[in-house]
Amino acid sequence: MFSYCVDPDSLETLAWLSCYLTTGVHMSFYMAFLKVLGLLAVTAPVALGFGFLGAMAARSGFGPLRWFGKTYIAIVRGVPDIAFFLFFVIALDQALEWLRHKTLCPDWDMPIRQGNDFIVCQAAKLPAGSAPEWIHETYGFALAVITFAIVFGAFAANVLFGGMRAVPHAQLETAAAYGMSQRQTFWRVLVPQMWVYALPGLSNLWMVLIKATPLLFLLGIEDIVYWARELGGTKTSRFTDYPHGDWRMWYFLALLVFYLAFTKVSEIALEKLMLRLTHGQATTGGEAQRRAAS
């Protein structure tokens, strides 16, 4: 990166480090941090959406919808994350390709499963075989987001379901007495009040989600854990300009600091959010705020 990096062997420690830490592989490492943050930024709202829909379904008055919501919550909560991640992503990918195969290549007469091989016609490939690598990566990333969202959505659904039930029943009865319809009661009375009950559970989920990002590596996405392992490994001078011993400890230490700092920041933000949500609520927290103010 810097002009003096041409001959790293002759450099002083600090200059050497400045060159070493700006090599192309390290840039990929730094990009991986953005990847993880990006995944969280996309997954959290999507998972919350899944959770909200799940909770709505689970308390629906319409039987099949209610069973669907409850089954979703029960199954996903019951299956181990790793099993879900290894199985579901491959199944989802193959299901999508199979559907495309059926619609795009109707005259294909070879079996899709040949022994161990899963073969669909070229047009049905997802992403297309000729697509550049970044499309493949984006596709993998999207699969990861969906998988994360489904898993964490189930937990969020359970939390929100509990939050909705925790809203004092008198509030809903009052709303009915004022002549609000079911729908109005739900959106104007229940939903605004349930967050304060759901937030402790949701904040837990957020923390677990942050820590779960290394599962990305299982999905073949080169996340920070992959790069820490790769960069920290012993490098001999034949294959790099920057030979070093086993430095994985230092890289993982950096990851430790990153994750701890990130959870700390999240904690502070969630605390602020909690304060705001409690404001004016008929809970002990809301009551305490009212007393302090008066």
Partner 1 sequence: MKSLILTTAALAIVAGSAFAQDKTIRMGTEGAYPPYNFINDSGEVDGFERELGDELCTRAELTCEWVKNDWDSIIPNLVSSNYDTIMAGMSITDERDEVIDFTQDYYPPTESAYVALSDDVDLEGGIVSAQTATIQAGYVAESGATLVEFATPEETIAAVRNGEADAVFADYDYLLPLVEESGGELTFVGEGVPLGGGVGMGLRESDTELRDKFDAAITSMKEDGSLNALLDKWFGEGVGTY
Instruction: Choose, by CB under 8 A, the member of 49, 243, 257, 265 that binds partner 1.
Output: 243
CB of 202 to partner 1, least distance (A): 33
Instruction: Choose, by CB under 8 A, the member of 162, 201, 214, 220 that binds partner 1.
Output: 220
Structure tokens of 24?
């192309």
Instruction: Choose, by CB under 8 A, the member of 61, 63, 64, 115 that binds partner 1.
Output: 115
Q: How far apart are CA 73 and CA 155, in angstroms?
A: 7
Binding of partner 1 at residue 294 (CB under 8 A)? no
Please say which residue, 7 or 117, places its beta carbon nearer to partner 1.
Answer: 117
CB of 61 to partner 1, least distance (A): 42
Binding of partner 1 at residue 117 (CB under 8 A)? yes
Q: Which residues contact 65 (CB under 8 A, 6 or more apart)?
A: 57
Please say which residue, 78 or 129, places its beta carbon nearer to partner 1.
Answer: 129
Q: Residue 35 in contact with residue 221, Cβ under 8 Å?
A: yes
Among positions 36-65, residues that touch partner 1 (CB under 8 A) are none
Q: How far apart are CA 156 and CA 148, in angstroms?
A: 12
Q: What 8-state DSSP symbol labels residue 235?
A: B
CB of 275 to partner 1, least distance (A): 44
Please say which residue, 207 or 222, places its beta carbon nearer to partner 1.
Answer: 222
- Quick note: the x/- pattern for partner 1 over 62-101, rule CB under 8 A, is ----------------------------x--xx-------
Burial of 216 per CB tally in 10 Å (0-12, 13-18, 19+): buried
Q: How far apart are CA 217 and CA 227, in angstroms?
A: 10
Q: How far apart are CA 46 and CA 206, in angstroms?
A: 12
Binding of partner 1 at residue 292 (CB under 8 A)? no
Q: How far apart are CA 122 and CA 9, in angstroms?
A: 49
Binding of partner 1 at residue 108 (CB under 8 A)? yes
Please say which residue, 8 or 286, places its beta carbon nearer to partner 1.
Answer: 8
Q: Which residues contact 270 (CB under 8 A, 6 or more apart)?
A: 199, 203, 206
List the beta strands (DSSP E) in the chain.
Answer: 113-114, 117-118
Please say which residue, 28 or 283, places its beta carbon nearer to partner 1.
Answer: 28
Binding of partner 1 at residue 21 (CB under 8 A)? no
* Rg (the chain; Cα; Å): 25
Footprint of partner 1 (CB under 8 A): 23-25, 27-28, 90, 93-94, 108-110, 114-123, 125, 129-133, 136, 217, 220, 222, 229-230, 233-234, 236-243, 246, 248
